[in-house]
Amino acid sequence: MSDAAADTSKAKVRAYMTRDVATVSPDDTVREAVERIIDSNHNGFPVTDGRTVVGFVSARDLLSADADAPLFTVMSDDIIVAHPEMNITDAGRVILRSGIQKLPVVDDAGNLVGIISNTDVIRSHIERATPEKVGKLMRTLEEIHGVSTSEERRRVSLAALVPTQARVYADELEGRRYELERGLAEPLVVIDNPSASGEVEDDGTLVLADGHHRVMAAHRLGIEEMDAYVIVIADHVELGMEKTARKEGLTSIADIEVVDYARHPLVETTKRFQDGDD
């Protein structure tokens, strides 16, 4: 089994579910639910009595219903739910086989704690900043530079980051914005390289190793801090990615170019295949 497949097989629903869930009450009317759908990007809501999930109402359920009917008369009460500790791959199988798009996530007491969608399952299989990937980067740094490293999970200031990628793609920022607005974004991977001077008051450099699209999307949303896996190097080393950043004139995220006249290379390649080019 590949590392990526192994990582996915261990991932839990709690790591990818949306925790801030929009819900409706059984006594709300069809009209009120329709207005909620119009004013949001949702296509349905869990129906809750207090914190307990009692049903789910979709846009389809509302289409032919009387506007003044209470939701408990039109909702589906034979619902499938997931548990936070459920394997993300198993949740994906349930979503695929049941033909639904979202699973309410409930705890042992039956209380709603989140929601997991087919999009979340797909996201769990790609571009994942997992602890194991961080561990591999740590071992690489130790082998190349002969230094000891440690790993921390903390919030980092975007203004303090030194980027190592000169450009990002505007179309990909839309996906990152979607994730950020729903609390779905993966942590950044940052290397904390201490000052060469060794002076305590010199904080050293926070090198952004992974997450440039996430950072730029967050910057556009006015977000000032993000969650990150931080690899702390015990002693200053001259990182190759820092040398590259200096050559490209990258000192802050303001130096990253947002390319909006071209799509991601993989998208362009796919388009060429679709067009029948060689």
For residues 57 and 276, the model is more confident at 57
Report which listed range, 49-63, 117-131, 175-189, 193-207, is most confident: 49-63
258, 167 in Cβ contact below 8 A? yes
Which letter, b or e, does each residue of 216-234 get, where b requires 16 or more Cβ atoms within 10 Å of its Cβ?
bbbbeeeeeebebbbbbbe
User: For residue 135, what are the domain limits?
Assistant: 131-268
Query: Does residue 84 lie in a domain region?
Result: yes
Query: Does residue 39 lie in a domain region?
Result: yes
**Final residue of a domain: which of 124, 149, 183?**
124
Q: Do residues 79 and 144 both lie within one domain?
A: no
Query: Does residue 275 lie in a domain region?
Result: no
Asked if residue 207 has pLDDT above 50, the reply is yes
Query: Does residue 190 lie in a domain region?
Result: yes
**Final residue of a domain: which of 98, 124, 150?**
124
177, 11 in Cβ contact below 8 A? no
Asked if residue 164 has pLDDT above 80, the reply is yes
- C-alpha span between 22 and 262 (Å, rounded): 36
Q: Do residues 84 and 205 both lie within one domain?
A: no
Q: How many domains does the chain have?
A: 2
**Final residue of a domain: which of 124, 152, 172?**
124
Q: Do residues 102 and 155 both lie within one domain?
A: no
Query: Does residue 86 lie in a domain region?
Result: yes
State the burial class of residue 98 (Cβ atoms within 10 Å of its Cβ: 0-12, 13-18, 19+): exposed
Which letter, b or e, does each residue of 172-184 get, where b requires 16 or more Cβ atoms within 10 Å of its Cβ?
bbeebbebbebeb
Question: What is the average pLDDT score of the chain?
Answer: 84
Q: Do residues 192 and 262 both lie within one domain?
A: yes
Q: Do residues 18 and 98 both lie within one domain?
A: yes
Instruction: Please write the tens of the pLDDT for every residue from 116-150.
Output: 988 788 767 755 556 677 888 999 999 999 999 99
State the burial class of residue 247 (Cβ atoms within 10 Å of its Cβ: 0-12, 13-18, 19+): exposed
Q: Do residues 109 and 154 both lie within one domain?
A: no
Report the CATH number at residue 88.
3.10.580.10
Asked if residue 179 has pLDDT above 80, the reply is yes
For residues 163 and 126, the model is more confident at 163
pTM of the full predicted structure? 0.54
State the burial class of residue 128 (Cβ atoms within 10 Å of its Cβ: 0-12, 13-18, 19+): middle
Q: Do residues 89 and 144 both lie within one domain?
A: no
Query: Does residue 96 lie in a domain region?
Result: yes
Q: Do residues 110 and 187 both lie within one domain?
A: no
- Residue 234 confidence class, pLDDT cut points 50, 70, 90: very high
Q: Do residues 179 and 205 both lie within one domain?
A: yes
Cα 201 from chain centre: 34
